[in-house]
Amino acid sequence: MKVILDYDDVLNECNEEAIRKLNKEYGYSYCLEDITNWGILENELDKRIPYFVQPKFVRNIPIREGARKLVCELLKRHCEIFIATSVPSQCAGVRIADIIRNFPEIDPGNILIGSRKDILVADILLDDCYFNIEHSNVRYPVLFRKPWNAQYTGMPAVSDYKEFLKLVDMLLDSKNKLNRFQNPNIFILVGPSASGKSTVQEELLKTEKFIRTKSCTTRAPRKKDDDYYFLSMADFKKMEENEDFLETTFYKGNYYGTSYKEYKRCSETGKKIIFVMDINGALRIKKMFGKKACTIFLKRKPIHCIRSILDRLHTGEITKEDAANRLNFLSAEYENEKFCEISIENNTIEDVVKQIMDI
C-alpha cells in the first residue's frame, strides 16, 4: 500500500513554530486554535506567513511528537511511504535535507516537492489542507484535523496518528478481505446528506428486529427532535475525557458521540443495531467490531438530494447555514462509497429495507 504523508503540520510543527516565533518577536499570545482558516486571516497572525519562505525558519521546524513512530509503524505494515511537501525553491534543499535527517528510513527518491498534490496517485493521502483532500486523485484521501479545517466535513478525517493507523489497518484488512462482515448484528448507514438514511432507519425500526442508539450531540435541538441527548460543549468534552464514548465525530460544526452505556442498553435487547453516521463514525465502529459490523452506503441521485435539502430549508427544518454546508460538501460525501462494504441505490425505501433485511 502506497501512503503519502504531507510534511508541514502533519509530520512537523510548522504553524506551532511560526506562532512561537511570532509571539516572541511581537509580544503576542496567540495559540494554534486562533488560526481558524486556511491562508490569509486579515489579522496579526498573517505576520507569520513570511516565515514560511525563509530557509532558516524551515530548517528549524521541529518534528511532531510521534511522527517517527508513525513512519516506523507504517513500514511495519509494509507500506511504501512518500512525503509530499510544498516549499519555495530557496527552501527546497533545506527541506529535503531536513526530511532525510529526520526520517532516514524513507527513500530520498520518495520525497515529493511541489504544490500539485492533485496529480499524485497512491492508496492513501494524509493532509491538513482541505483543498488537497477535495481535489485528490488518491484512492483514500484523509484529512488531518487542525483548527483551520474544523469547518470541513463529509470526508474521512483523523485527529492524531493513532486514529490514522487504525484507519490504515482497516483499509489493509478490507483490501485482504479479512474483515468483511459475517452474520453482522450492527449495521451502519452512510451516505450523502438527504439520501434517505434516517427514513430507512425508521422503516427498519418498524420491523422490531432493529434498534437504534440515542446519540449525544452538541447541536441545537430541532422541531420534534428527541433522538439525541443534547449536551453542552463542556459536558461533551468531559465525557470524551472520561472515555465514556464508543465513538465520536465532528459533523457540520457539531460533535456527536455514542456512549458505551447507550450501546450496552441496545445490545442487551438482542436486536440488531442500526446506526446512521458520517464516514468517520462508521469507520470507527467498523474497526471496533470487525466482522460483526456492516457498513452500507446509501446512494441517491444528487439532484434528488439537493431538492430534499432545499425543501427542508423551506419548511424551516434546517437553517440557511446548515443547508449551505450540506450543499457545499455533498460531492465530497459521494466519495465515501469506496470506504463501505455494500452500496444500495435508494430508488424506493421498500427495496432498500428489503436488501438490508436480506443481509
Active site residue: 8, 9, 127, 128, which one? Answer: 8
**Between helices 279-289 and 161-175, what is the axis angle to 10°?**
70
- C-alpha 296/C-alpha 343 separation (Å) is 6
Q: What are phi and psi of 236, to 5 degrees?
A: -65, -45
CA distances from 7 to 70, 97, 161, 233 (A): 13, 13, 13, 31
> Pick from 282, 274, 298, 275: which is nearest to 210 by CA?
274
> Pick from 232, 262, 236: which is nearest to 249 by CA?
236
Dihedral sign from CA coordinates of 205, 284, 7, 139: negative
Coil, strand, or helix at residue 29?
coil
Task: State which H helix or E strand residue 215 sits in.
Answer: strand 215-217
Active site residue: 6, 9, 278, 322, which one? Answer: 6
> Pick from 310, 260, 318, 303: which is nearest to 285 by CA?
260
> Pick from 309, 310, 305, 285: which is nearest to 295 by CA?
285
- C-alpha 346/C-alpha 43 separation (Å) is 47
**Grid cell digits, residue 48:** 507569520
CA distances from 334 to 44, 58, 251, 279, 300 (A): 38, 37, 15, 11, 9
Catalytic residue at 46?
A: no
Q: Give strand pairing partners of 5.
A: 83, 126
For 278-319, give the DSSP string.
Answer: -HHHHHHHHHHHGGGEEEEEEE--HHHHHHHHHHHHHTTSS-
Task: State which H helix or E strand residue 83 sits in.
Answer: strand 80-85
Please say whether the beta carbons of 83 and 55 come within 8 A: no
Catalytic residue at 169?
A: no
Residues that are catalytic:
6, 8
